[in-house]
Amino acid sequence: MTHRFRTLRSLFPISRSGTPRAAFLGSSWPAKMAAPVGKAARGWSVLALGLRSVVPRLPGLTQVRWSRYGPEYRDPQIDKEYYRKPLAELTEEEKYEQELRKIQLIKAAPAAKTSSVFEDPVISKFTNMMMKGGNKVLARSLMTQTLEAVKRKQFEKYHAASAQEQATIERNPYTIFHQALKNCEPVIGLVPILRGGHFYQVPVPLPDRRRRFLAMKWMITECREKKHRRMLMPEKLSHELLEAFHNQGPVVKKKQDMHKMAEANRALAHYRWW
């Protein structure tokens, strides 16, 4: 967690772009301004357990980008099976981590997460991305309707197909969802890099979480914009998911276009310095 300071006298605060979360610690994404400081602080406190990162609180300066939890709070481990594992099965690392967690302070579990078997992190993330204006109830109902629609379509196909084809038709909406998103993930992306006064589109390998994000974002944008006026979101989304599952459709095409652009610009690959 990085701490940025701001004087109360300044009328117009410094606007910052980009997300503040210090999630760039292990990533190959271009280092944003405050990331190196955060990295140093984290690397320290691995060994200096329990020591609060010393941040001088100077009078007249308030901190922005702060959290109600202190920097020493760790994220909770919600998976039930993690705790039920017998001691013999644990590796050295896991034992060490368990010992470590006994001293650490843990944050409260978020309201959207439970230990239920029906919970899927990918589905939750997708629901959050679909949400507008904080209307989680609507987003979640749309998600369930989408999965139901996918299941219905697949069952119709199943009942209409012959015995051999029935074995190949996938009916579980969750597997279809996961596979469809995996098919939409790009492997390589383009990043504008300033060189000699011009912005060049440089091909860059994408980290995993960026890929997943792009796949979901493209899917949602595609379903919101390119649909018939009267068509509802679940209908359109289920249709797009099924097409992506079979490696067809506009989202997969967008991914392939991205790959082609990267291939075309491969001469600029040496502009990348990370």
Residues forming the site for other proteins (CB under 8 A): 11-13, 15, 44, 46-51, 54, 56, 68-69, 75-78, 80, 83, 92-93, 96, 99-109, 111-112, 114-116, 136-137, 140
Shortest Cβ distance from residue 157 to other proteins (Å)?
Answer: 29
Nearer to other proteins, 103 or 163 (CB): 103
Q: Confirm if 150 and 177 have CB atoms less than 8 A apart.
A: yes
Shortest Cβ distance from residue 149 to other proteins (Å)?
Answer: 18
Three-class secondary structure of residue 164 per DSSP: helix
Shortest Cβ distance from residue 115 to other proteins (Å)?
Answer: 5
Dist. CA 250–CA 244, nearest whole Å: 8
| 219: Cα separation from own chain's centroid | 14
Nearer to other proteins, 44 or 199 (CB): 44
Nearer to other proteins, 118 or 225 (CB): 118
Shortest Cβ distance from residue 30 to other proteins (Å)?
Answer: 21
Nearer to other proteins, 156 or 263 (CB): 263
Shortest Cβ distance from residue 208 to other proteins (Å)?
Answer: 18
Residue whose C-alpha is closest to residue 176's, from 147, 143, 145 = 147
Q: Confirm if 209 and 271 have CB atoms less than 8 A apart.
A: no
| 161: Cα separation from own chain's centroid | 37
Dist. CA 92–CA 69, nearest whole Å: 29
